[in-house]
Amino acid sequence: MPAELPWELRRRGIRDARRHDQRVREAIRKNLRHLVTEEAIISSDGQRLVRVPIRYLERYRFRYGLPQSHQGVGQGKGEPGERLGEREGGGEGAAQAGDAPGELTFETDLTVQELARLMLEDMDLPWLEPKGRATRSRELRFDEVRRVGSLANVDKRRTLRENVKRKAARGDPRPGDFVEEDLRYRSWREEPRLQTQAAAYLLLDRSASMTLDKKYVAKAFFFWMVQFLRTRYERVEIVFIAHDAEARVVDERTFFAIGSSGGTICSSAYRAALEHIRRHHPAREWNNYVFHFSDGDNFPEDNAVAAEALRELLVESRMVGYGEIVEAAGPSFYGSPEGRAREREAERPRELERPKSLFGRALARVGDPHFVAVAIHRREDVYGALRAFLLADHGG
């Protein structure tokens, strides 16, 4: 740098880069409601980095509607009217990508777990201590300092401090002339640790009335709920139970596959979950979470039976959630880009309604603080539903 520049003004790049990253996170936070149902994310395996589209981080300015990168001067052979194909990537072209109008997003890499953590932060829930069930392991923590120990474990920084302290007391604060009493050793202690484990029971109505879009909502919800549980528990097991008039434990792929044409008996799913819990995840060792998604179109005679099954399930579970998916009027449910843009305009978290179906109301009458039921009208409600369930878990 030119020598006359003051020191405090140098090396600003790193600071501004950090501020930029912070803005990216803010932008993500503002978009969480939409990211919750972002196809690319909930279809990922939850391990790798995901590309998170960010809107809102644009540098606004006046720019032409017809992007300047779509016209210009090129070179080579060819007659007027000849097709040139798409613009090549890279180089100047890539730098100009921001000139395109419309819903241009630029992306950032985050792990799904980071995203889940951002959501939990955004939901403003205190970090809940999971209930540990058994002392399964001991953790060694290397954070004690002692006056005796093996020379290999000398804590140099602390030893130096002691040395200087001792010598300073005699008027010579320079390090050197180490004696036995200066030496400090690092040491370990044993700490018992709670092995925490949870089982997530995901129950999905796959009867004929459950359209693909409704299932998509359930899928988004399940995806994030499992991520949240994973931030909290060391071990999370997932059990998928699909039901129509009958319930079956299935694998993940079959779970979301096209459903049957049969009717709906929700109690069958609750019974299947109960049975599975009692056999594999007894409540004294497991934090059981049960989530059921349906459109509430249950066989009327089953409503009371299901409510009774719910009562039994609550004894074995840390919490039970029920989401009733009801299609809203208008295109927003299907998340068309235009619909999404409109919603972003009128963006305010909505109060979630209670389920209105006879089935939903029968469940609500069980009246247990560990049971939460919400109605979901559109994709953006998923975020609120997640929050409602997590909040209830805190109350419990």
Partner 1 sequence: MPLEPLPERFQEVLEQARALGLDFFELRFEVVPEEIMAELAAYGLPTRAQHWSYGQVYNRNRLFGRMGLSRIYEIVLNNDPAYAFLLDTNRPVENLLVVAHVAAHADLFKNNALFQETNRHMVAEAAAHAQRIDRYREEVGDERVEHVMDIAMALEQHIDFPEGVHRRRYEESGAESRPGGAASRRDRPEERFAELFPEEEAPSGRELAPPPLPPHPERDLLWFLANYAPLTHWERDILEIQREESYYFYPQFATKILNEGWATFWHARILEEMGSLTPEETLEYARLHAAVVQPGSRLQVNPYYLGYRILRDVEERLGLERLWQLRREEDDVSLIQNFLTPELAEEMELFTYGPRGRFASAGREPDLEIKSRDIEQVREFLCRPRYNYGAPLVAVTEVHHGQLYLEQLDRHVSGLDLEYAKKTLEYIGELWRGPVRLVTADAEGREVELAWDGQESRRSRP
Phi-psi group of 326: left, alpha or beta (phi > 0 → left; psi -120 to 50 → alpha; rest → beta):
beta
CB 224 within 8 A of CB 119: yes
Q: How far is the CB of 49 from partner 1 (least distance, A)?
A: 15
Integer Cα distance of 150 and 198 in angstroms: 41
CB 175 within 8 A of CB 236: no
Q: How far is the CB of 338 from partner 1 (least distance, A)?
A: 11
Integer Cα distance of 206 and 259 in angstroms: 5
Residues 28-67 as x/- pattern, contact with partner 1 by CB under 8 A: ------------------------------xxxxxxxxxx
Among the residue ranges 3-11, 133-141, 181-189, 320-328, the one whose residues contact partner 1 (CB under 8 A)? 3-11
Q: How far is the CB of 220 from partner 1 (least distance, A)?
A: 24
Residue 89: CB atoms within 10 A of its CB come to: 8
H runs (alpha helix) in 267-334 = 267-280, 302-316
Among the residue ranges 10-18, 305-313, 314-322, 385-393, the one whose residues contact partner 1 (CB under 8 A)? 10-18
Residues 67-106 as x/- pattern, contact with partner 1 by CB under 8 A: xx-xxxxxxxxxxxxxxxxxxx-xxxx------xxxxx--
In the bound state with partner 1, the residue whose beta carbon lies nearer, of 90 and 395, is 90
CB 312 within 8 A of CB 274: yes
Place of tokens 């990253």: 21
Q: Does 7 bind partner 1 (CB under 8 A)?
A: no
In the bound state with partner 1, the residue whose beta carbon lies nearer, of 17 and 168, is 17
Q: Find the Cα–Cα–Cα–Cα dihedral 253, 254, 260, 265, rounded to 10°.
A: -110
Residues 244-263 as x/- pattern, contact with partner 1 by CB under 8 A: --------------------
Q: How far is the CB of 331 from partner 1 (least distance, A)?
A: 18
DSSP helix/strand/coil, 324: strand
Identity of residue 145: V
Residues that bind partner 1 (CB under 8 A): 1-6, 8-23, 58-68, 70-88, 90-93, 100-104
